[in-house]
Amino acid sequence: MNILVIGAARSGIAVSVLLAKHHHQVTLNDIGLIKDKSRLNNPPIKMIENGHPESLWTEPFDLVIKSPGINHNHPFIQGFIERQFKVINEIEMALEYGKNYVYGAITGTNGKTTTTSLLGEMLKYKNSHNQACGNIGNALSEVVNAYEDESLDLALEIAAFQLIGSPSLHPLVSVIMNLSPDHLDVFKDADEYYKAKTLVYQNQRGDDWFLQNLDDLNVMTYTKDVQCKVITFSLYKAADLCLRNKQVYLFDTMLFDQKDLKLLGLHNLQNAMVAAAMAYKMGVKVEDIQDCIRHFMGVEHRIEFVKTINEVLYYNDSKGTNCDATIIALKAFPMPVILLAGGYDKHTGFDDLIPYLDQVKEMIVFGATKMQLKEIYPKAKVVNDLKEATELAFALAKRQDVVLFSPACASYDQFNNYEERGKLFKEYVHKLTK
């Protein structure tokens, strides 16, 4: 087949290598320079850099694969769709070759990364090659490149824009963690975004499991047509998966004790409940689930403890890319915090933060949304960038304070991704006493 791959980040590189290995003719296109070219020479892959030429619309491609970072409404992508090209994403292509994989699929607005990471760690008790992948860490194609002929159990984080291009997705167990407005720079409205999330269970049938969050009104409203077994879960109500006397039960099986979980916040208890239930469905022993819970220390960039300086605690929540994520972070602390926020504008607004601003002692804002954030918190101090924000927080902080970097925004105004942003924040914190 003659295949075009659009986007040369991690998933684009990985799927190009996979396709070339299977003797397809591959063209890799990126808006900028293509990095990691050493992987693209054997067998050779045609590379087109520094732009998306419309001349590619007239090429005889049998298939177009879009990387997840590219908006499905991008005019270049729409040009292929209008000309009747088949456009899929990297996960759909990887599933074609990962025939022996069983996977749990995790989507939703918040909590995906922690849940996926924890499930991935639990699955390693069955096989050390089992892992978390997808919209987290390794692309699924990278897993296939390494373990194509193995039978693996995978924790698959999948975003809404990946679900749109994955019509063959068929997890053994799936979940929509929660639903709140996000990515409205990509989707026309919240309704379109929520409906995209429900594609996670579109192919599930029979004894497959879909975990349904009773505590989330939007999830309950949008998940009405599930054709497989529905497992309800709740932190507060009687459900198939719930708390009883501070222990997590799935039906009559005690999965783990709440006191063994080391992560802050009720949201992380919910994440752990879901991961444990998914692992149980995927064949992980209860004693291994419990051992993993006792040793799991959390995910980088998600309410991640960085350092104590002069009795001030610094936390990195760069993964907090929307209001709900930042609200969750604020609720994790019993005391008021110095909040660092701002970044790329996803057009979701910040009004949802207002009821939680009593939890904020000082707010320091930066980036493209800094003036929007100052509108909802007029006392906010405005700076140019994250480095200035971190240094000002250090100057303002008193003993027993918490400095929380939870931007409530995506990173693309000043950074390549939230990982880069979080790593820089940690570097700035570590340099504060030097």
pLDDT of 300 reads: 85
Distance CA 140, CA 405 (A): 30
Model-level pTM greater than 0.85?
no
Cα angle vertex 217, ends 190, 231, to 5°?
A: 115
- Output DSSP code: residue 353: G
In the chain the first and final C-alpha atoms are separated, in Å, by 57
Residue 434's pLDDT is 59
CATH topology of domain 94-295: UDP-N-acetylmuramoyl-L-alanine:D-glutamate ligase (3.40.1190)
- Dihedral pair phi/psi, residue 376, rounded to 5°: -85, -15
Q: Report how far residue 44's alpha carbon sits from residue 194's, in angstroms, rounded to the nearest whole number.
A: 40
HSE, CB side, 13 Å, CA atoms: give it for residue 350.
Answer: 24
395-401 long-range contacts, CB within 8 A, separation 24+: 396/338, 396/362, 396/364, 397/310, 397/312, 397/338, 398/312, 399/310, 399/311, 399/312, 400/311, 400/312, 400/335, 401/312, 401/313, 401/335, 401/337, 401/338, 401/361
Q: Which fold has domain 2-85?
A: Rossmann fold (3.40.50)
pLDDT of the chain, 434 residues: tens digit per residue: 999 999 998 999 999 999 999 999 999 999 999 988 889 988 889 999 999 999 999 999 999 999 887 888 889 999 999 999 999 999 999 999 999 999 999 999 888 989 999 999 999 999 999 999 998 879 999 999 999 999 999 999 999 989 988 999 999 999 999 998 776 667 888 999 999 999 999 999 999 999 999 999 999 999 998 999 999 999 999 999 999 999 999 999 999 999 999 888 888 999 999 999 999 999 999 999 999 999 998 878 988 889 999 999 999 999 899 998 899 899 888 888 999 999 998 888 899 999 999 999 999 999 999 999 999 999 999 999 999 999 999 999 999 999 999 999 999 888 989 999 999 999 999 999 75
Domain definitions of the chain by residue range: 2-85, 94-295, 304-430
What is the CATH topology of the domain spanning 304-430? Protein-Tyrosine Phosphatase; Chain A (3.90.190)
Provide CB contacts within 8 A for 426, sequence distance 6+. 306, 316
Residues sharing a CB contact under 8 Å with residue 277, sequence separation 6 or more, in sequence order: 173, 209, 211, 231, 233, 241, 250, 255
Token duo for residue 208: 């497959």
Rounded Cα–Cα distance for residues 117 and 357 (Å): 30
Cβ-count burial 287-305 (b if 16+ within 10 Å, e if not): ebbbebbeebebbebbbbe
